[in-house]
Amino acid sequence: MKNIWAPWRMDYILGKKPSHCIFCEMQQEDRDRENLILHRRENTYVIMNRYPYNNGHLMVLPYVHVSTLEGLEPELMKDIMEHTQYSVDCLREEFRPEGFNIGINLGKVAGAGIEEHLHMHIVPRWVGDISFMSVLDDIRVIPEHVLESYDRLHPLFNRHA
């Protein structure tokens, strides 16, 4: 799929991939807005997908660098699910989606773009969000820039900080 408003997606697809884990690197930096990190907890954090499938596409990640479910301690799996639930609540409040796709892509063949650091995808959905554009020309229309969505969601995620 192509994103009408995101021509830089081709830079990601065709560009040189870093030799290090970008999720591990960005979680240590003090640049949350630039890195699109919306919310932090003790063991997990929420980030906006820079190359979203839909408006408000989020990811929940553990701080620990792990690529499989077997590598997660039960308490960390619980934390990921709780942070996912919190993310869904915030998205419902701000964007009012009619549904969600939530899941983990394990391995490149399953669609993982960054397979070395496990992450949970949360994609808000609306009736008609897959329009004739997707069918006729493999194009997805995303109505809001990712930083505008970040600025709308950040206060919700952090109102109890």
Which of the residues are catalytic?
119
Give the residue among 73, 52, 64 at the shortest CA–CA distance from 122: 52
CB-CB contact of 84 with 46 (8 Å)? no
Q: How many helices (H) and strands (E) does the chain have?
A: 6, 7
Decide if 122 contacts 59 (C-beta within 8 A): yes
Record the tokens describing residue 69, joined without a space. Answer: 């479910």
**For the stretch 95-113, what's the b/e string if a residue is b when 16 or more beta carbons lie within 10 angstroms of its beta carbon?**
bebeebebebbeeeeeebe
Question: Rounded to the nearest 5°, which phi and psi values hold at 59?
Answer: -140, 140
